[in-house]
Amino acid sequence: MRHLYLCTLLIIVCCLSVSAQNKFPTSGAVGIGTTEPSALLHVNNGNIRLTNPSVYPYGVNIDLSLTGNWAREFSFSANSNGKLFSLGALSDSAGFIYGYIGGNTVENTAYRTPWMVFKSNGYIGINNKTPNAQLEISGGPVWTSNGWTKSLKLQNGAAVELAGSKRTFGLGTSGDKLYLFNIQPDGNAAAQYFLVADGNTGNVTIGNVNTDYNGNNYKLAVDGAIGTRKIRVQQGAWSDFVFHDNYDLPKLSAVEKYIREHKHLEGIPSENEVKKDGIDVGEMNKLLLQKIEELTLHIIELNKRLEKVEAKQL
């Protein structure tokens, strides 16, 4: 009999202990781990676990549905000072507007200035509540002194993939260079570079060449043909000096002697030099015009001599 009394007393004490930690009124707020709940359901110093042992296709749901204009969210806050992080949805009388992620606000809700929104058509907006594309990013921290903002950043070695029907294109960085390239869709072949921009020098490469070859450090190096309707080359000097009175026009005999010895015109690159270093288009045009002007002066002089001979014959 004594054991029965002891067991009964132990049960009563346990019940009183549990009751002292929780509050389950017939109406009003419910407290778990607290007898002074500050919300309809207040769980103090503990976790909430939801499980779904049955095969349910939609998982475990928490339904926060409400008709009319509303915004419902799950939020994390500290000392009731605004919302550090919120996950919720916004709607009006016409229906769902967007799901959102937000926070860092002293307002009661984060839906007014969300970080990211998710539209019902699959569009996603970052710092933009009305995206008009699958992903639209607006603004960002000021990046440069002339007003550029940083909306997206990829770390060194990362690339953006743009899939085509048979080839996949990439845009990425490695070291201090920007690469535009293509690869096979399976990624098994090496990347083929279309364009490389060097961030240190500003040099640009198109095709499979090195912008530093021959030590010329070209701002633009192209491996292959260039098709264009016009090329304009700015020259600092031109060959009009040939027509100045103090210009020493080479004698034809000296020109002939130089050609016999060197097999090219004086001042014009030789075949071997062109094969090795190429030519400067602007400079070459100036040199060719110089030779044409010299040739013109020789023709004028020969014509004068011819006129004198013809005059004597008359």
Q: What is the pLDDT of residues 46-87, one digit of tens each?
A: 777 777 766 666 666 666 665 667 777 787 777 666 677 888
Q: Does the model's pTM come out above 0.75? A: no
Q: What is the pLDDT of residues 255-267, one digit of tens each?
A: 999 999 999 999 9
3-class SS of residue 14 = helix
Helix ranges (DSSP H) in 212-280: 252-262, 271-277
DSSP 215: G
**Percent of the chain residues topping a pLDDT of 90:** 29
Structure tokens, 104: 């860092």
Domain boundaries of the chain, sorted by first residue = 21-45, 69-140, 159-222, 239-313
3-class SS of residue 81 = coil
Distance from C-alpha of 90 to C-alpha of 102, rounded to nearest angstrom = 12
Q: What is the pLDDT of residues 121-151, one digit of tens each?
A: 999 999 888 999 999 988 877 777 787 777 7
pLDDT (tens, 9 = 90+) of the chain, 314 residues, equals: 444 444 444 544 444 444 456 666 777 888 888 888 888 888 888 777 777 766 666 666 666 665 667 777 787 777 666 677 888 888 887 788 898 898 877 666 677 788 899 999 999 999 888 999 999 988 877 777 787 777 778 888 888 888 887 788 888 888 899 998 887 766 677 788 889 999 999 999 998 776 666 667 888 888 889 999 998 988 888 999 999 999 999 999 999 999 999 999 999 999 999 998 889 999 999 999 999 999 999 999 999 999 999 888 87
8 Å CB contact between 298 and 235: no
